[in-house]
Every structure is written in C-alpha cells, then in structure tokens.
Amino acid sequence: MSEEQQSGQVIPATMRAAVYRGVNDVRVETVPVPEIGPGEVLVKIHTCGICGTDLKKIHTGSHDAPRVFGHEMSGTIVSVGDGVNGFAVGDRVMAYHHIPCGECYYCRKQTFAQCEVYKKVGCTAGFAPSGGGFAEYIRVMDWIVKRGLVKIPDEIPFEQAAFLEPVNTCYKAVQLLGLQPDETVLVIGQGPIGILLAALSQRTGATVLTSDLYPERHAVAAKFGLKHPLDARGDVSAAAKVATEGRGADVVLLAVGGNALIKVAMDAVRPGGRVVLFAQTQHGEAPFDPAAVCVDEKTLMGSYSASVAIQDDVTKMVFAGYRSGFDLTNLISHRFSLEDAVAAIDLASHPQADSLKIVIQPSV
C-alpha cells in the first residue's frame, strides 16, 4: 500500500515487526504492510501490551512459525476498506482479536471462548493471524470491525485503552463469581492481571487479600486501594484463615500459572468456597485432593479469555475510570520501542521486582 489516504498520510509498503520464527526465537524484521479488503481497516499501532499467553506461545512452540503476536493493542485507523460503516481514517481505536459468531450453541450459552469463530483470530500483521500488535500496522478483519473495534475518546490515552482486552478477561472471571460484600477474596499473584482481578473484586464490596513475593508489586496494588497484602514467602493459606475467623477465603483467584499453587489455593479456600484458575492455559496434569471437591464441597472452576456480553460495560469502566481511581497506566512499568521488542519480551519472560506490564510502542 502506497496510496495517499484521506488523512494525507502515506502508508509505506513495508514495516517493522517482531516476528516469531520458532521456540524462543523472535526477530525484528522488515515485512510487508498487510493489505486490507472490503469491510476491513488498517490500524497503525501505538501501544501493545505483552501478555502471558504471548510468552507461552513463544517459549513452548505451540504455534507454527512465522507469526506476529501481540493482542493488547490500540492505535489509529489509517485506511478503511469498502463497506466499512461507523469508522474513518484518523479514528483512535482499540481492537479485540477474538469475537464470537453470536449464533452457535456456545454463544447461546454465553460460553463465547468455545465458539469456533471466536477461536479464529481476526487481527494480523501478516503471516497466520495471531494478533499482530508487535508490529507497526495491523489488518483488522471484517467481523472484528463490526463487533470488536472500539473508538477511543480523545481524552483517553492509548495506553489506558490498550487494557480493554485484559480488563474484560478479568471482569468476566469476577462476574462469574457473584461476589457478595460479606465475602473475602484471596488473589494469588500481583502481576498486572492479579492486580486487575483484585481491584475488580474489591469493587463488589468484598474484602480482598493479595499475595505476592515482591513488596514493590504490593505498593502498586495499593494505588488501586488494595490494603491487605500477604507475603507469598509465608504460609498464605494460614494467613487467609487468620483473616476469616479460621474458615479460609470464600474465593481464591489464581493469577499465577504454576500448577503447584492449585493446592495452595484449595487449602486457602473455605469449605463450600470457590477456586478460579485464571492463568492455567497450558495443558497438562495437576494433582488436587478430590475429597476437597466432594466432601468439603469446594468448587474448582476456570475462566478464560474475554466476553462480548460485557464489552460495553468494560469500555465504560476503563474510559470513565481513567480520571477516577482506575488509571491503568499505573500498571505499566516499562515501555519499549519496536526495535527493542526482543529485550521487552525477555524482561516480560523474567519478571523482576520492579516489572509489571511491559508494553511495546511502535509509533512512539
């Protein structure tokens, strides 16, 4: 694409992208800018967060190469295909990369992540569609434009808008629980996702305990009003029981991928309580006490990916919250240029005490 668009901006024929070439092999390369078709838009990326699922794909080789990952993204429309309604060149937008069909059995049951259309990826920087946010430009496909492209108000930073998708995933998990104000929630892990889960849980009126190894992360969590930190190096289950008259937490949200922590979560939850696996996205086997589920009536459940049913609510929450105590840019610890994407991925893969959300910003 080299034609001059309505904005007066010339779209180049090539761009830079962080291309996945194999297990633990990401290279910043020059690739073609993707062409768009009818009903599609081309977005110039401003900010793209690095998600734990991106890292798992890079480190495990679960997807064939080459690909361009990245799906927590925001940017500006620079080209619009025929038949697009409601969007124009210059619009600031955030794009969801998964949107369900809305008609199949799973959609009727609102289990959207199991819809076959949802499992398709509708955003790409070229190669097999994989999000594409670790690149200068992405092609947003027609079904995403219709239901998964969100306009960003002028007063909202791109960085705040890039959190729409992860907030949706967390809010979905919290909604599933139907939390009550007299309940106590334990969130294990205070990375950016753990802080989001804790902050959203607290908005229900529940008491929220947070567990992490790093005091620096608890300090960031405190900016979101989270006031009950637990040191993960200690006995978290015992601490949860001390805080709940010996019962254990009503709910435990596991925001860390280590399967060994499932036992910690099950020990920390009260009889009749609920444990949510949020970060266990890799297949495998994890032992737990079946009698804890049967005799103690503890519920072990999962929540995965985003829900289109809460998309509007999440949009309002994230945009309205920017100036009212829900400034998600506080979760960003490091900002990298696209040329430094490999270093960004390396830091995100090896979290430090002072690292939380790592973002790549091709346009900055």
Do 20 and 153 have their domain in common?
Answer: yes
Q: Is residue 317 part of a domain?
A: no
Q: Is residue 8 part of a domain?
A: no
pLDDT per residue as tens, the chain (364 positions) = 433 344 557 899 999 999 999 999 999 999 999 999 999 999 999 999 999 999 999 999 999 999 999 999 999 999 999 999 999 999 999 999 999 999 999 999 999 999 999 999 999 999 999 999 999 999 999 999 999 999 999 999 999 999 999 999 999 999 999 999 999 999 999 999 999 999 999 999 999 999 999 999 999 999 999 999 999 999 999 999 999 999 999 999 999 998 999 999 999 999 999 999 999 998 999 989 999 999 999 999 999 999 999 999 999 999 999 999 999 999 999 999 999 999 999 999 999 999 999 999 997 7
Do 152 and 268 have their domain in common?
Answer: no
Query: Rounded distance, CA 261 to CA 66, Å?
Result: 33
Phi/psi of residue 251, nearest 5 degrees? -140, 140
Picking from 214, 264, 215, the residue whose alpha carbon sits closest to that of residue 239 is 264
Q: Which domain holds residue 193?
A: 168-302
Strand partners, 188: 211, 254
Q: What angle do CA 96, 56, 317 make, to 5 degrees?
A: 35
CATH number at residue 49: 3.90.180.10
Where does the chain show beta strands of DSSP type E? Answer: 14-22, 25-32, 41-49, 72-80, 92-95, 123-124, 137-140, 149-151, 184-188, 207-212, 229-231, 249-254, 269-277, 299-302, 332-336, 357-360
Do 84 and 153 have their domain in common?
Answer: yes
Half-sphere exposure of 2 (CA within 13 A, CB side): 3
Do 127 and 241 have their domain in common?
Answer: no
Q: Is 146 exposed, middle or buried (0-12, 13-18, 19+ CB in 10 A)?
A: middle
